[in-house]
Structures are given as structure tokens and as C-alpha cells.
């Protein structure tokens, strides 16, 4: 199966600087600098604005039947896009009104041109403007949001959210910070958001993702030269980013080519270890050994068939379990418990220098004294904290944490020198070199006991099979989300390992059908 599923060497980006990946996520600031660089690359701002407004008008016409449209325009270029969309919808025969937040005389540059090109009446934007509207286009604020909306704007936002009519937001719903996915104050809830050129982190991160509704990203003819020097703020998780490194079974391979996972479990929550070990075996590790305290040996050995179970010495020392160098990827945390012995076991595993996944109690045992852990980590380690475990290691979330979840995960990866998977509905995967990936395919049904154990097993299974740490984490998170999605409602964590083969088959089809590869920019 191997060659058919591999990415071809002819893919774009080898050697030469690759075109900016479609999965790149740009901060509003980066998008703004591309806008400013576009004219020098031969594309004037008004052409971008015309294309942006046209994309919005097209998206509206594709989604809704003709109705009375109210376009709410703001004082900047987001408002300019709104004026263009208003003109094009009117030209298509739709009844359109425009209401402006701010003064017509204060519009300048491309936005003033767009208002002139609309040429129709412009009323002041107040909550009463919404009366009679069948559809609202939100062109109040986009990338330029710089502070929480003040009271009067907040009243308008509240009125939009209270109106029982669909909303199409231009670029971002007004009030949403496209960089972080957070809202400094009130924000519009849209049914459709049309953004331009590349998505922004705030479209994938919560609560932003939930405010956007359906998301469309339109090509507005941004010249490649204007994007050339941009190092993306983050990437949206997608197989294009890591499929080249995916360890498809080789036709001439045997189980040792696919690596040997050593998982260290505890005495009590024995199911967690089993979930992780089964996931590691399902996703591609050649062998999986679970090492547990003597008291848990009979339970685990009786419950597992394809996973080998061995008893640790009574003091929990791991030297014997680590003696076989073919045990190339290690997992500790699921089912570990918080006995003090856990801490020395984690440090013993890390000292072996092998690839290692630390989850759950393997992180929590260092609560209050994270330095002992942080100093022992290395680049082939993957930490998989949820928000609570993350806060115990790296400190609580503070309101001033600029950049939100993305920034916190990136800072933690830099500080620890390990890959950090900050879990949640908007899982962020961060590498010590600054690369960040946001995952958006996880269904809410994944919020169930044991699903984190399965994820940890998926990551260590891919590490054992030879994937580098960042790629293994991204692939595991993506496959875990897809497996859950395919299971639908009512899933239990124990269903997930059995759903991995179906998810792997989807991945194989995607990779075979894709001619596209994306190289990272760092």
C-alpha cells in the first residue's frame, strides 16, 4: 500500500520557497500588511475591495433567496467591502438599504471610493435601522477592531443578535478579534462569515468559531508577492501538513519497523491504560507493551489480547522495562494515579531520551513544582494537557493573556522545549520552534470520559511508527476527531480505537487524491 499513498516528490515547495499554504492562518495584522503590499505588486486596494465585496454578494446569493437586505457599514475598509456588496446585490435586483455607523465625511481612501460607487442613500446605523430587514450584512468592523465596542455600538450589536433574521458577516463578525478568537466586548453572531485570502486564527478558535456560523474564504486576487515574507501565525490542521511523514505500513515491513510502545500504567483506573494501548496499536504501532504494578497485572492481562502486559517491580522502577531499546516510544499518564512514585517514573522515562507522551496524571503530579518536569523534557516529548492540567503546569489563564489559547500554547511549547497539545474543542498544537496548528474537526461528542486517553495512545502509536513529534500530534488529533465524527452521537471512548481503521481509510483516500503539499514556513 505504501507508494500509492505517499505524497509525490514533485509537490510544490521542495527547494524553492513554497507558495503560502491554503491552510495558513494569518493574523489580521499580517493580512493588513499584505493589503498594503498589494499595490506595489500590481494590485490596487480598490481592486481587492471590489473582489471582497463581490465575494460577499455572491455568497449571499448562493445561500439565500432574494430578500430585503440591510448592509451595516462601519468607518473603515470593512465598511468599504459592505458598500461594494450593497451595490452588487442591488445591481442583481435585490432591495438593499445601507446604514452607516459613523459619518460619511469621515470615510477615506478605498472605503470612500466604495461609498461613492454605491451612490444610493445612506442612513445612520441605529437599532431601529433593522426594522423590516430580511437579511443583515455585517460590515461594521473587521480586522481593525481595536477595543471593546462602546455602549452605542454594543446596542446595535445586541439589536442584530436579537433580530430574527440571518446575518452574513464580512471578514469577521463585528466584535470578534480575528487574532485570538476572543471578544473584548459584545459581538455579532453570524450565520455565514466570508473572509478573504486566508482564514484567521479567530475563525477556528473559540468562541470565535461559534460566532462565525459557516465560514467561506474567498480568493480576492491577492498577489503572491504581497504574501511572500509572511510567516503564518498558525495553520489549520489538515493532512497536507503532515501526510508526507505519515507512517503507512510498508509492504516489506515487519512489526518492528512500526515501533514498539511502552506504556506505564497504575493500579486503579485500569481502563484508561487499556484505551490508550488499544489506540496506539490501532493507529499503527507494531507492538504495544503495558507495564503496570503487580496488583494490576492480572486485570490488564485478562482484558488485553493484542497488547502485552508485564508487571513492574514493587518499587515501580522502570530500568527493566526500558532495557529493550526497541521500545522506542513511551507513554505515561492515562491510569497512572497521583502516587508520588509517578513523578520518578516520569523522570525515568524522560531520562531515556526516547519519544515520550505525557498525559493526565503524569502532568498533574508536577502541579506546583513544574520546573522539575520542564527541565527534563526534550524535543521528542509531547504533552497533552487539558485546560486544567495546563494551568497547573504553566499558570492560570489571565485576562491579560494576549493572543488567548494560541499564545498560551506557543509560550508553553517554547518554555518546555516540547510539543504541547492544549486540548479542547479547539485543540492547539504548538512546537518549541513557534509553529502552531489549530484543529477544528473535533465534534462535541468527543467531550467524554476516556477520549483523552485514546488521543494520548494515538500520538504515541504514531511516534513509535516513526513520525516526528509535531506531525504525530497533528495527525493523531485529526484522526481522533475524524473517528469521533464518523461514530456520531452516543460515542463512548471505547468505541474510538475501533473507529480508527475507518478514519485511516478516509485519510488514505484523501492523500491518494491530493496533488497538493504544503511546506511549513517558520
Ligand X SMILES: NC(=O)C1=CN([C@@H]2O[C@H](COP(=O)(O)OP(=O)(O)OC[C@H]3O[C@@H](n4cnc5c(N)ncnc54)[C@H](O)[C@@H]3O)[C@@H](O)[C@H]2O)[C@H](O)CC1
- Annotated binding-site ranges for (6S)-NADPHX: 77-81, 142-148, 171, 272, 335, 386, 453
Residue 86 contacts ligand X per CB under 6 A: no
Among 7, 24, 49, 190, binds ligand X (CB under 6 A): 49
- Among residues 85 and 446, whose Cβ is nearest to ligand X? 85
Please identify, among the stretches 31-39, 258-266, 323-331, 379-387, the one whose residues bind ligand X according to the rule CB under 6 A.
31-39
Q: What angle (nearest 5°) sits at the alpha carbon of residue 272, between those of residues 270 and 277?
A: 100
**Cβ atoms < 10 Å from Cβ of 207:** 16
Please give the annotated binding residues, written as ranges. 77-81, 138, 142-148, 171, 174, 272, 335, 386, 423-427, 452-453
Q: What is the DSSP string of 454-507?
A: HHHHHHHHHHHTT--HHHHHHHHHHHHHHHHHHH-TT--GGGHHHHHHHHHHHH
How near is the Cβ of 174 to K ion at its closest, in Å? 4
Q: From CA 287, how far away is CA 273, in angstroms rounded? A: 15
Total binding residues for ligand X by CB under 6 A? 31
- Among residues 74 and 208, whose Cβ is nearest to ligand X? 74
How near is the Cβ of 198 to ligand X at its closest, in Å? 8
Among 9, 65, 147, 254, binds ligand X (CB under 6 A): 147
Quote the cell numbers at residue 276.
Answer: 490508550
C-alpha distances (whole Å) from 200 to each of 143, 193, 212 are: 10, 12, 12
Quote the cell numbers at residue 443.
Answer: 465534534
Among 59, 133, 170, 463, binds ligand X (CB under 6 A): 170
Q: Where are the alpha helices (DSSP H) in 263-400?
A: 270-283, 294-303, 319-322, 341-351, 361-364, 370-376, 387-394
Quote the cell numbers at residue 66.
Answer: 432574494
How near is the Cβ of 405 to ligand X at its closest, in Å? 22
How near is the Cβ of 121 to ligand X at its closest, in Å? 21
Among 27, 30, 78, 355, binds ligand X (CB under 6 A): 78
Please identify, among the stretches 137-145, 242-250, 377-385, 482-490, the one whose residues bind ligand X according to the rule CB under 6 A.
137-145
Residue position matching grid coordinates 484505551: 275
Residue 138 contacts K ion per CB under 5 A: yes
Contacts of 358 by beta carbon, 8 Å cutoff, 6+ apart: 332, 333, 346, 373, 381, 382, 383, 384
- Among residues 79 and 286, whose Cβ is nearest to ligand X? 79
**For K ion, what does the binding mask look like between residues 141 and 170, x meaning CB under 5 A?**
-x--------------------------xx
Please give the annotated binding residues for K(+), written as ranges. 78, 138, 174
User: Counting Cβ atoms within 10 Å, is residue 171 exposed (0-12), middle (13-18) or buried (19+)?
Assistant: buried
Among 27, 77, 129, 174, binds K ion (CB under 5 A): 174
Q: From CA 460, how far away is CA 227, in angstroms rounded? A: 36
Residue position matching grid coordinates 501565525: 233
Interface residues with ligand X (CB under 6 A) are 31-32, 35, 48-49, 52, 74-81, 141-150, 153, 170-171, 196-197, 220, 222
Amino acid at each position: 500500500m505504501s507508494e500509492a499513498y505517499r505524497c509525490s516528490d514533485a509537490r510544490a515547495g521542495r527547494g524553492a520557497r513554497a507558495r503560502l499554504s491554503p491552510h495558513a492562518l494569518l493574523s489580521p495584522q499580517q493580512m493588513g500588511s499584505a493589503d498594503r503590499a498589494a499595490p506595489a505588486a500590481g494590485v490596487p486596494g480598490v481592486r481587492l475591495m471590489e473582489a471582497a465585496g463581490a465575494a460577499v454578494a455572491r455568497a449571499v446569493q448562493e445561500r439565500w433567496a432574494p430578500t430585503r437586505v440591510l448592509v451595516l457599514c462601519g468607518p473603515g475598509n470593512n465598511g468599504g467591502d459592505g458598500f461594494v456588496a450593497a451595490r452588487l446585490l442591488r445591481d442583481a435586483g435585490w432591495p438593499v438599504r445601507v446604514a452607516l455607523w459613523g459619518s460619511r465625511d469621515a470615510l477615506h481612501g478605498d472605503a470612500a471610493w466604495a461609498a461613492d460607487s454605491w451612490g444610493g442613500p445612506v442612513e445612520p446605523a441605529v437599532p431601529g435601522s433593522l426594522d423590516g430587514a430580511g437579511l443583515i450584512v455585517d460590515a461594521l468592523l473587521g480586522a481593525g477592531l481595536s477595543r471593546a465596542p462602546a455602549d452605542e455600538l454594543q446596542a446595535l450589536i445586541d439589536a442584530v443578535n436579537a433580530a430574527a433574521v440571518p446575518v452574513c458577516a464580512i471578514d469577521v463578525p463585528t466584535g470578534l478579534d480575528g487574532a485570538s478568537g476572543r471578544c473584548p466586548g459584545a459581538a455579532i453572531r453570524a450565520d455565514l462569515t466570508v473572509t478573504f485570502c486566508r482564514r484567521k486564527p479567530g475563525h477556528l478558535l473559540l468562541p470565535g468559531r461559534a460566532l462565525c456560523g459557516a465560514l467561506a474564504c474567498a480568493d480576492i486576487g491577492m498577489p503572491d508577492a504581497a504574501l511572500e515574507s509572511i510567516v503564518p501565525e498558525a495553520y489549520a490542521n489538515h493532512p497536507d501538513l503532515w501526510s508526507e511523514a505519515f507512517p503507512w505500513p510498508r509492504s516489506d515491513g515487519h512489526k518492528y519497523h512500526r515501533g514498539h510502545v511502552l506504556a506505564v500504567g497504575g493500579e486503579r483506573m485500569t481502563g484508561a491504560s487499556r484505551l490508550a494501548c488499544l489506540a496506539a496499536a490501532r493507529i499503527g504501532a507494531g507492538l504495544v507493551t503495558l507495564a503496570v504494578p503487580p496488583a494490576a497485572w492480572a486485570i490488564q492481562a485478562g482484558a488485553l489480547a493484542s497488547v502485552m502486559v508485564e508487571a513492574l517491580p514493587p518499587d515501580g522502577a522502570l530500568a527493566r522495562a526500558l532495557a529493550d531499546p526497541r521500545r522506542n516510544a513511551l507513554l505515561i499518564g492515562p491510569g497512572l494515579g497521583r502516587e508520588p512514585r509517578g513523578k520518578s517514573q516520569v523522570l525515568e522515562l524522560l531520562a531515556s531520551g526516547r519519544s515520550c507522551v505525557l498525559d493526565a496524571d503524569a502532568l498533574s503530579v508536577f502541579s506546583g513544582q513544574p520546573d522539575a518536569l520542564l527541565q527534563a523534557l526534550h524535543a521528542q516529548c509531547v504533552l497533552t494537557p487539558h485546560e486544567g492540567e495546563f494551568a497547573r503546569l504553566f499558570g492560570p489563564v489571565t485576562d491579560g493573556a494576549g493572543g488567548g489559547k494560541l499564545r498560551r500554547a506557543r509560550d508553553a511549547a517554547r518554555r518546555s522545549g516540547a510539543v504541547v497539545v492544549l486540548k479542547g474543542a479547539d485543540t492547539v498544537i504548538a512546537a518549541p520552534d513557534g509553529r502552531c496548528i489549530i484543529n477544528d474537526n473535533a465534534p462535541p461528542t468527543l467531550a467524554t470520559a476516556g477520549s483523552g486517553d485514546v488521543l494520548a495512545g494515538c500520538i504515541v502509536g504514531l511516534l513509535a511508527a516513526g513520525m516526528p513529534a509535531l506531525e504525530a500530534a497533528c495527525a493523531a488529533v485529526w484522526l481522533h476527531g475524524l473517528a469521533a465524527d464518523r461514530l456520531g452521537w452516543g460515542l463512548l471512548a471505547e468505541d474510538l480505537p475501533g473507529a480508527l481503521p475507518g478514519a485511516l481509510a478516509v485519510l488514505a483516500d484523501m492523500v491518494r487524491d491530493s496533488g497538493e503539499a504544503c511546506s511549513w514556513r517558520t
